[in-house]
A and B are shown apart, each in its own frame.
Chain A
Amino acid sequence: GENVEQHPSTLSVQEGDSAVIKCTYSDSASNYFPWYKQELGKRPQLIIDIRSNVGEKKDQRIAVTLNKTAKHFSLHITETQPEDSAVYFCAATLNTGGFKTIFGAGTRLFVKA
């Protein structure tokens, strides 16, 4: 089955700096890659997603890149702010008639003011 690895597990940056979170997946048939943000005590919320036919997608300060050949995808947050502090999960979704999503272990991001 699909396996998603995520690094780093913890990331601390200064406000205004950039943060990069990297993930790899194992099943080349996965074709949709969402990213979720989970604030303390709250449910995960989708922040951005990318499909396998696209190499990069940007939404304001957040961008995702996908390298299908290497089975790598990354989240980039620029001009970080304290409210970006949260746990971020990458995920890979396999379309098998349904849409089974496997999540990475998460990255705890701390943005220091």
Chain B
Amino acid sequence: GAGVSQSPSNKVTEKGKDVELRCDPISGHTALYWYRQSLGQGLEFLIYFQGNSAPDKSGLPSDRFSAERTGGSVSTLTIQRTQQEDSAVYLCASSSRGSWDRGGGYTFGSGTRLTVV
């Protein structure tokens, strides 16, 4: 697609429920990243996928968080047994090799605002 698409844009869930957040990167982008942004805070790295390599999961805050990237394209971030502290905006970004060689960095999606009540 023309940009990075994320769905849903907003999600309200009850504490203890599982949620799935979806990211559809720019077509042809080999790298996909998930970040979390709590209200008024910075961008916290969660996980990234690069091509067919094993993902870098070093930023996932607990084992309740997991992510998959199927077919090298769409990614799903799953949060199990949600807690109130999981409330944040979850941002996805993608990039191609060319993004770094030519400059341009990441392209971010609009994010999913997750509220756990």
- Residues of A in contact with B (beta carbons under 8 Å apart): 1, 6, 32, 34, 36, 42-46, 49, 51, 89, 91, 93, 95, 97-106
Some 9 contacts from A to B, beta carbons below 8 A apart, are A1-B58, A32-B100, A93-B100, A97-B50, A98-B51, A99-B95, A101-B33, A103-B42, A106-B42
Q: Shortest distance in angstroms between B52's beta carbon and chain A's nearest beta carbon?
A: 11
CA distance A49 to B56 in the complex (A): 24
For B43, B45, B50, the residue with the greatest tally of chain A CB atoms inside 10 Å of its CB is B43
Q: A100-B48, A103-B43, A103-B45 are in contact. Are A46 and B31 (CB under 8 A)?
A: no
CA distance A36 to B100 in the complex (A): 15
- Contact assessment for A101 and B50 in the assembled complex, using a CB-CB cutoff below 8 Å: no
| B109 contacts chain A at the CB level, 8 A cutoff | yes
Q: Shortest distance in angstroms between B96's beta carbon and chain A's nearest beta carbon?
A: 10
| B70 contacts chain A at the CB level, 8 A cutoff | no
Interface size on B, residues (CB 8 A): 25
Nearest A residue (CB) for B4: A43
Known: A34-B106, A98-B53, A103-B45. 20 other contacts (CB 8 A): A6-B42, A43-B110, A44-B91, A44-B108, A46-B106, A51-B103, A89-B42, A89-B43, A93-B105, A97-B53, A99-B31, A99-B50, A99-B99, A99-B100, A100-B56, A101-B33, A103-B35, A103-B42, A106-B42, A106-B43
- Residues of B in contact with A (beta carbons under 8 Å apart): 31, 33, 35, 41-43, 45, 48, 50-51, 53, 56, 58, 91, 95, 99-100, 103-106, 108-111
- Contact assessment for B53 and A43 in the assembled complex, using a CB-CB cutoff below 8 Å: no
Residues of B with C-beta under 8 A to A43 = 91, 108-111
CA distance A98 to B104 in the complex (A): 15
CA distance A32 to B33 in the complex (A): 17
CA distance A10 to B110 in the complex (A): 24
CA distance A86 to B109 in the complex (A): 18
Q: Shortest distance in angstroms between A109's beta carbon and chain B's nearest beta carbon?
A: 14
